[in-house]
Structure 1
C-alpha cells in the first residue's frame, strides 16, 4: 500500500496517483504539531510534507516523488520519453512548477501573511514575487502555443504547474490572466483532479474559503 503523508504539496502526489489509478492511503499531518507526531517524524525526521512510503522505500520532495511513481508505476502514461521532442519542455516545467513557481510563492505568502508587520514586503518577499512572475512568463508563452506544457497531452508537468498556480490563487497573491484561467479550467476539470479534491478534504475546505479554484 502506498501511503502519502500530508496534503499541501502532497496534493500533487495524490493527483498523480488518481491519474494512474493506484491504490493509496492519505495520512494527515498537522505541521503545527509535528513535534507531537513521532510516527511521521520516523518517516521524515526533517518534519516537512509530503512524504511517500512504498514498502521499505521512503521518498520526500513532491517532484521527486512524482518522478519515482512515474518511473516505477506509470512509464509512458503521464511522463514523456527522452526520445520524444516534447521531453525537454516536459522536464523543464515539471521542475519549474516547484523551483520557479510554488517555492517563490511560498516565500511571498510567508512574507506577506505570516511575518511580523515590520518585516512584511521585505526585499526578499519582493524578490520572490518577481521570481514567480518571471517564471510565470515562461508558462504563459508555452501555453499560447500548446494546450498543455508538453504539447497536446496532459502530463505530470501540468500537475506540477497547476498546483503552483492554484496555490498562488488560494493565498490571494496571484490573479491569473486569460491564458492561465483557460489552462486551469482544462486541468481542474479532469476526473482525477476532482477525485483528488474529494480525497484531500483539508485542501477542499481551503479552496472553498479562497479566491482560487
Structure 2
C-alpha cells in the first residue's frame, strides 16, 4: 500500500495529483500545517518535519521531486515519466525539477505574507523581489510553450507528463502572489491541465485546514 502524508496547499499536492493520474491504489493521511509536523512520529517519516512523506511497502521517502521520479519509474505504464533513452528524458528531468525553482519563491512569499505575523518582521523589498522572480519563472514557461511554428499544449513534445503536474502545481501556488496576465500560452496551458480529473481530485476538501485564506496577496508597502 502507498500512503501519502499530505498538507493541502503544499508541495505534497503535486504527489497527490500524480498518484491520481497514475491510477494506483493509495491512501492519504492529511496533516495540518502546524507544529504537529515536528512530532517524533512524523519526524520518523520526514526528518526535517516537512511534507510530503511517502510510505510504500515498508519504505519511506521524503522530497517531492524524488517521489515524482520514483513513482513514474515504478509505474511506467501510465506514460507520465520519460525513462533513460527517451527523446524527452532530458527535458523531463529539467522541468520536473524546475517546479522547485518556482516553489522556493512561493515559500519565501508565504513566509513573508503569512508566517511572519508582525509587520515589523516583513520586508516589502523581499516581497516585491520574490514576486518578480516568480514572473521570471513564468517567462521561462511561456518561452517553453511558445515556438516559432506553433505553440505546445504541454511542456514536452511527447504530451502530458509528470513535469506538467510538478510545474502546474507550483504555478497553482504561485498565482497567490504573481498573476498570469501577460503570459497567454502559460495561462492556456494552466487552464488545460487544471481541468484534468487528477488535478480536481487533489484540491483541498471543504473540511481541510488551509494555509492560504486569500486568493491573492498583494506586495506589502510597509
Band the TM-score falls in, shorter-chain normalisation: 0.7 to 0.9
Other structure's SS at 2:34 match: helix
Aligned: 1:55 with 2:65 = no
Deviation above 4 Å: which 4+ runs of structure 1? 122-127, 202-210
Alignment of 1:11-26 (within 5 A): 11-26=13-28
Deviation at residue 176 of structure 1 after TM alignment? 0.9
- List gaps (5 residues or longer) in structure 2: 217-222
Cα separation, 2, equivalents of 1:93 and 1:179: 16
Alignment of 1:1-213 (within 5 A): 1-7=1-7, 8-34=10-36, 37-74=39-76, 77-98=79-100, 100-115=101-116, 116-121=118-123, 123-144=125-146, 145-169=151-175, 172-177=176-181, 178-197=184-203, 200-201=204-205, 206=210, 210-211=214-215
Deviation at residue 42 of structure 1 after TM alignment? 2.3
Answer with 35-44 or 68-77: which moved more.
35-44
Answer with 114-123 or 25-34: which moved more.
114-123
Q: Is the 8 A contact 2:135 2:178 kept in 1?
A: no
Compared with structure 1, are the counterparts of its residues 36 and 120 closer, same or farther at alpha carbon in structure 2 (3 Å cutoff)? closer
- List gaps (5 residues or longer) in structure 1: none
Choose between structure 1 and 2: higher helix proportion: 1
In structure 1, the partner of 2:219 is: none
Answer with 61-70 or 144-153: which moved more.
144-153
Other structure's SS at 2:60 match: strand
| Matched length | 207
Answer with 152-161 or 126-135: which moved more.
126-135
Cα separation, 1, equivalents of 2:71 and 2:88: 20
Cα separation, 1, equivalents of 2:89 and 2:207: 31
TM-score normalised to the size of structure 2? Answer: 0.81
Q: Is the 8 A contact 1:89 1:150 kept in 2?
A: yes
Q: Is the 8 A contact 2:155 2:164 kept in 1?
A: yes
Cα separation, 1, equivalents of 2:119 and 2:48: 28
Cα separation, 1, equivalents of 2:209 and 2:29: 17
Q: Is the 8 A contact 2:37 2:50 kept in 1?
A: no
TM-score normalised to the size of structure 1? Answer: 0.85
Q: Is the 8 A contact 2:6 2:29 kept in 1?
A: yes
Compared with structure 1, are the counterparts of its residues 35 and 23 closer, same or farther at alpha carbon in structure 2 (3 Å cutoff)? closer
Deviation at residue 79 of structure 1 after TM alignment? 0.9
Question: What is the RMSD of the two structures over their aligned residues, measured on CA atoms?
Answer: 2.6
Answer with 187-196 or 107-116: which moved more.
107-116
